[in-house]
C-alpha cells in the first residue's frame, strides 16, 4: 500500500487529474521529508512552484524563450541596482557565462537564513525576479536534456537539519519514478559544481546538503548504466584535477559528508511518464 499520492493535472485548465502512488524508502530522512510535505501542503497550505520541468517533448521552452525571461528578470533587477546586473543573456552563451551570471543570485540573494540586504529590503518584484533568475538559468542548462524530470519548491515550507547518518544515503545515480531530496540552499552542492565546472561560484558557495524540507526532485527517466558510469568518471576526473582546491575547502574524496549525488525519498511502482506528460502541474498531495 502506498504512503501517499501526488496529484498532477493539466497545467492550463487544472483539471484532468491523476493520482500517482508513492512509497517512502523507509529511511529516517524520508519520514522527516514526508512530515515536512504534509505540514507544508496540508497544514500551511503552500502550493508548489511548477516552473522547473526539464526534458519533456511537450510544453518545452526553447533556449530563446528562457533567455527572454532571464533578460526580463535582469531588467527588473537593474531598475534598482543598474551597476550590479549589467549583462544580457543570449542562447549562444557558454556554461562559463551562465556560471558568471549565476553569481548574481548567489551574492544578492544571500544565505537562506541570512539574506543579502538587497533581497531583504527589495520589493516583491525584485525578490521574485532574483529567485526566477536562478530557476531560469538552471532551466537553460537543461534545455537540451532528454532525461525527463521536474523540481518542486515550496516557498516558506518547514525545514529540518539533516543528520550525520543521512549523509550515507546519497548515491550517484538517478532511478526512474523516484523522488529525491532537493538542495534548497544558496550556492551549489559538490555535484552541481562538478557538473558545471564552475570557476566563479566562490569558495564559500560550494556547500554540502544541510537541510531537508518539503522540496523534492521527481526523476522520471532515470539514468542508464552507461550514464551512471560516465558521471562516476567525471567525478573522479574532477577530484584529480581539483584535489588541492577541494581539500582546502574541507572536501576529501570518499568522505560521505560531501553529500555527492542524490538522496532518494520515495518511489512509485508504476511507469509514470505517460501519465505526467499531459499533466505537467503538481496540484497537491493526498495522504489518505
Per-residue pLDDT of 209-225, as tens digits, reads 988 889 999 999 999 99
Structure confidence at residue 185 (pLDDT): 63
User: What are the DSSP calls for 74-93, one per residue?
Assistant: HHHHHHH-TTTT-----TT-
Is the pLDDT at 195 greater than 90? The verdict is no
pLDDT-derived band of residue 16, with 50, 70 and 90 as boundaries? very high
Comparing CA positions, the residue from 5, 76, 14 lying closest to residue 50 is: 14
- Chain segment 235-248, per-residue pLDDT in tens: 899 888 888 888 89
Burial 33-69 (b: 16+ CB within 10 A, else e): bbebbbebbeeeebebbbebbbbbeeeebebeebbeb
Q: Is 198's pLDDT higher than 70?
A: no
pLDDT tens sequence across 112-169: 667 888 888 989 999 889 888 888 887 887 777 778 899 998 877 778 889 999 999 9
For residue 197, what pLDDT band results from cuts at 50, 70 and 90? low
- pLDDT at position 89 over 80: yes
When pLDDT is cut at 50, 70 and 90, the band that residue 38 belongs to is very high
Q: Give the percent of the chain with pLDDT over 90.
A: 43
Residue 100: closest CA among 111, 85, 118, 114: 85
Compute, in degrees rounded to 10, the torsion defined by CA atoms 23, 29, 31, 32.
-140
Q: What pLDDT does residue 50 have?
A: 87
Per-residue pLDDT, 262: 94
Look at residue 212 in the predicted model and tell me its pLDDT.
87
**In the chain, where the domains are located:** 1-55+147-288, 61-142
- In this model, does residue 11 exceed pLDDT 70? yes
Report which listed range, 11-20, 53-62, 232-241, is most confident: 11-20
Q: Which CATH number does the domain 1-55+147-288 belong to among 2.40.100, 3.40.50, 1.10.3470, 3.30.160?
A: 2.40.100
Looking at per-residue confidence, does 34 or 46 come out higher?
34
Instruction: Check pLDDT > 90 for residue 84.
Output: no
pTM, two decimals, is: 0.81
According to the model, what pLDDT value does residue 144 have?
Answer: 73
Report the C-alpha gap between 75 and 164 in whole angstroms: 42
The 10 Å Cβ neighbour count of residue 137 is: 19
Residue-level pLDDT at 187:
66
Amino acid at each position: 500500500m502506498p504512503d501517499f499520492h501526488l496529484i498532477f493535472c493539466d497545467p492550463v485548465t487544472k483539471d484532468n487529474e491523476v493520482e500517482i502512488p508513492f512509497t517512502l524508502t523507509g529511511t529516517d530522512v524520508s519520514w522527516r521529508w514526508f512530515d515536512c510535505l504534509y505540514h507544508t501542503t496540508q497544514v500551511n497550505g503552500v502550493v508548489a512552484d511548477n516552473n522547473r520541468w526539464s526534458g519533456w517533448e511537450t510544453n518545452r521552452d526553447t533556449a530563446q524563450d528562457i533567455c527572454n525571461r532571464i533578460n526580463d528578470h535582469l531588467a527588473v533587477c537593474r531598475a534598482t541596482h543598474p551597476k550590479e546586473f549589467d549583462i544580457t543573456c543570449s542562447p549562444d552563451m557558454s556554461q562559463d557565462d551562465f556560471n558568471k551570471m549565476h553569481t548574481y543570485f548567489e551574492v544578492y540573494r544571500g544565505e537562506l537564513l541570512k539574506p543579502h540586504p538587497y533581497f531583504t529590503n527589495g520589493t516583491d518584484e525584485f525578490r521574485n525576479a532574483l529567485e526566477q533568475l536562478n530557476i531560469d538559468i538552471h532551466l537553460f542548462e537543461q534545455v537540451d536534456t532528454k532525461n525527463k524530470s521536474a523540481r518542486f519548491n515550496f516557498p516558506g515550507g518547514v525545514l529540518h537539519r539533516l543528520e550525520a547518518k543521512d549523509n550515507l544515503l546519497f548515491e550517484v545515480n538517478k532511478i526512474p519514478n523516484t523522488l529525491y531530496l532537493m538542495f534548497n540552499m544558496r550556492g551549489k552542492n559538490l555535484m552541481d559544481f562538478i557538473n558545471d565546472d564552475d570557476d566563479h561560484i566562490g569558495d564559500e558557495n560550494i556547500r554540502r546538503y544541510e537541510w531537508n524540507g518539503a522540496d523534492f526532485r521527481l526523476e522520471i527517466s532515470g539514468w542508464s548504466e552507461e550514464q551512471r558510469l560516465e558521471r562516476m568518471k567525471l567525478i573522479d576526473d574532477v577530484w584529480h584535477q581539483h584535489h588541492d582546491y577541494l581539500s582546502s575547502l574541507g572536501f576529501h574524496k570518499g568522505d560521505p559528508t560531501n553529500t555527492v549525488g542524490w538522496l532518494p525519498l520515495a518511489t512509485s511502482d508504476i511507469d509514470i511518464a505517460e501519465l505526467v506528460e499531459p499533466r505537467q502541474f503538481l496540484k497537491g498531495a493526498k495522504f489518505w
